[in-house]
Chains A and B, each alone.
Chain A
Amino acid sequence: DTEVTQTPKHLVMGMTNKKSLKCEQHMGHRAMYWYKQKAKKPPELMFVYSYEKLSINESVPSRFSPECPNSSLLNLHLHALQPEDSALYLCASSQATGTGGYEQYFGPGTRLTVT
């Protein structure tokens, strides 16, 4: 089973709202990722968690706040977003260690619109 789930599928929020995106995987992966993807662009890495610890923050503005409550769950808390933050937000997971390489599996994404 290579399934990563994300909720909600779509989210519309105002610039003063607080909302959260959720991601879950049951593949036993210990690395989880948040990406942002704008139209006709490749995914852009935001955060990486490895063994529930934040290992990479790609200089993401503080209005995005990640959280990894356990090895299966990943949240992205949103606050005071700007219209330019509207995008497809993708969660992915992979093995955290191992030789030779690893594969990242993406969830279906949350389409976020900031009004």
Chain B
Amino acid sequence: QKEVEQNSGPLSVPEGAIASLNCTYSDRVSQSFFWYRQYSGKSPELIMSIYSNGDKEDGRFTAQLNKASQYVSLLIRDSQPSDSATYLCAVDPGTGRRALTFGSGTRLQVQP
């Protein structure tokens, strides 16, 4: 069973701090990795995608990928209360199935 693991949280950080969200995956052939943000009662919103080892930055968000360690993370700088949501890590298994495997999500709480 191919798995994507996330700490369910909640991860609580003060406003203005850096939030660090982590994800590990079991399938070594995985090629594409995504972070989605989901507010309660809403649908998932794509915030980052990453395909190569290293860092990818987009505004306050940085995705980090280490394929050797099978680890992908999301850093949120200058966290705001509006960042409070569940963050889902999703992995494309790289089999051509076009089917994402989702982690169970990490709930982030940013305290004002």
Using CB atoms and an 8 Å cutoff, list the residues of chain A in contact with chain B.
2, 31, 41-43, 45, 48, 50, 55-56, 58, 88, 90, 94, 96, 100-109
Contact = CB atoms under 8 A, between A and B. Distances in A.
Contacts of A106: 36, 43-46
A100 B43 contact: no
B10 to A, nearest CB: 12
Nearest to B8: A40
Residue with the highest number of chain B CB atoms closer than 10 Å, among A56, A102, A104, A108: A104
B72 to A, nearest CB: 13
A100 B32 contact: yes
Given A56-B98, A102-B98, A108-B42, 4 more contacts: A55-B98, A96-B98, A101-B49, A103-B49
A45 B46 CA distance: 17
B34 A56 contact: no
B94 to A, nearest CB: 9
23 contacts: A41-B104, A42-B88, A42-B103, A43-B102, A45-B99, A55-B97, A55-B98, A56-B97, A56-B98, A94-B98, A96-B98, A100-B31, A100-B32, A101-B49, A104-B34, A104-B90, A105-B46, A106-B43, A106-B44, A106-B46, A107-B43, A108-B42, A109-B43
Interface in B19-77: 31-32, 34, 36, 42-46, 49, 51
A102 B50 CA distance: 10
B104 A88 contact: no
Contacts of B103: 42
Contacts of B34: 103-104
Contacts of A43: 44, 88, 102
Residue with the highest number of chain B CB atoms closer than 10 Å, among A41, A55, A101, A105: A101
A97 to B, nearest CB: 9
A42 B103 CA distance: 7
Contact of B92 (A41, A101, A109): A101
Contacts of A31: 98
B37 to A, nearest CB: 11
